[in-house]
Amino acid sequence: MGPVGCKHGVCSRNTDTRVDRLIAAVIGTSAELIKMAPVLNRLVDRNADVEVWYTAMHVQGFADLAERAIPDVDIRTIRDGNRHDDVARTIDVPGWLRDVNRAFRRDRPELVKTLRRDGRPPLILVHGDTFTTVAGSLAAKRLRVPVAHVEAGYRSGSFLAPFPEELDRRFVAGLADIHFAPSAREVGNLHRAKGRVVDTQANTALDSLRMFLDDGWDEPVAEPYGLVTLHRFELMRKPADINRILEICRSAARTTPIRFVTGEHGRARLAQHGLLSWFDDRFTIIERVSYPEFVPILARSSFVVTDSGGLQQECSYLGIPCLIHRERTESDLGLGRNVVLSGLSTEAARRFLEDPQRFRSAPLLDEFHPSDRIVEELVMLGYAP
């Protein structure tokens, strides 16, 4: 086969068996860490030279999660300043971006030395659609290093839904040299992208689920329950909309108890809008836990109501009935099978919750291995032994 047409002339197929190139994964959130962990662990298993460059968008619990998810990967923090809190609000973003840009400028000589320590072209990995994805891609260009984008090609068709993720995805698509797309649909969305587009056949979230699912997760529970997670800016900024979906969930909880999963900031927003009165002994608030603890809770749930694209993916692979309470979704994964997109229609939400079990489907846990596909490609390109 011929050369792979990546930019900078560093992505051609490798015929040299000596592979010591550094792969630096730029990660800032727990979700990015979770979905990149299977890839990074497989690279470590092949004795690849791997680092994580951490921008500290999410701080609470990140160290413990990293220790469980990628115990053998070195982590280098790329963030200046003394404030290392979660970037949980829009007003926090400018300060965080300033800190990250300062750190990249400050550490540039050391980063260049690290990247070129063996004299061979390195690679920077980014994931998804966060501000860290953008910052990592821009840093790669400044450092003149090719960038590979994992979870590339998702599109909702609207710059405002979801915002700013759709803008982030499109921006990074113009910078990436290698695009790891989760399905043929996303490959099609990247038909104008430069560089190499690879169909991984599934999202790496599938491999993350496998990491933390325990035995017996698919056995019946003593008392069925539903899960609700609602946190996105597009919904939370509209008290009337969040009020209506909470009312519908509380009504559904008369039949099946529902647990509303949120953290400190989410609870504060609910209090700010006067919405805590919707909760009672059937419709309860439970604290957000780390991903390894959450996976068994999710896997045993009867149904899920969420505005999270990540949970859409996980529910699709587990076959759990799932209502995506958003106007649009960037992925068609599970739609028409076990996933329903509400379009923010309260009537659609009510119909789903009347009998969510009619949407249950068979799990897809054994069908795809996207992280293996990514690593195979990196081996072929000479970035891993």
pLDDT higher than threshold 60 for residue 164:
yes
Q: What is the mean pLDDT of the chain?
A: 89
| pTM score | 0.89
Spatial separation of the C-alpha atoms in residues 347 and 210, rounded to whole Å: 35
Question: Residue 25's beta-bridge partner residues?
Answer: 52, 125
Q: What is the arithmetic mean of pLDDT over 271-298?
A: 94
174 and 236 housed in the same domain: no
- Class of residue 94 by CB neighbours under 10 A (exposed 0-12, middle 13-18, buried 19+): exposed
pLDDT higher than threshold 60 for residue 15:
no
Has residue 343 been placed in a domain?
Answer: yes
What are the structure tokens assigned to 217, written together? 């997760």
160 and 276 housed in the same domain: no
Has residue 97 been placed in a domain?
Answer: yes
144 and 224 housed in the same domain: no
234 and 336 housed in the same domain: yes
Q: How far is CA 256 from CA 244, 282, 353, 361, in A?
A: 18, 8, 10, 19
Has residue 159 been placed in a domain?
Answer: yes
Residue 83: which pLDDT band, with cuts at 50, 70 and 90?
low
Spatial separation of the C-alpha atoms in residues 126 and 86, rounded to whole Å: 19
Q: What is the CATH number of the domain that holds 179?
A: 3.40.50.2000
Has residue 385 been placed in a domain?
Answer: no
pLDDT higher than threshold 90 for residue 269:
no
Look at the alpha carbons of 75, 79, 83, 88 in this order and tell me if their dihedral is positive or negative: negative
Q: What is the dihedral of CA 186, 188, 192, 193, to 10 degrees?
A: 30
The tens digit of pLDDT for each residue in 349-365 reads 999 999 999 999 999 99
249 and 172 housed in the same domain: no
Domain count along the chain: 2
Residue 2: which pLDDT band, with cuts at 50, 70 and 90?
very low
The residue range of the domain holding 275 is 214-359
Has residue 2 been placed in a domain?
Answer: no
127 and 82 housed in the same domain: yes
25 and 167 housed in the same domain: yes
28 and 157 housed in the same domain: yes
17 and 146 housed in the same domain: yes
Spatial separation of the C-alpha atoms in residues 192 and 200, rounded to whole Å: 18
pLDDT higher than threshold 90 for residue 346:
yes
**Portion of the chain with pLDDT greater than 90, in percent:** 72
The tens digit of pLDDT for each residue in 38-71 reads 999 999 999 999 999 999 998 888 999 999 999 9
Has residue 352 been placed in a domain?
Answer: yes
184 and 229 housed in the same domain: no
133 and 238 housed in the same domain: no
Has residue 136 been placed in a domain?
Answer: yes
231 and 375 housed in the same domain: no
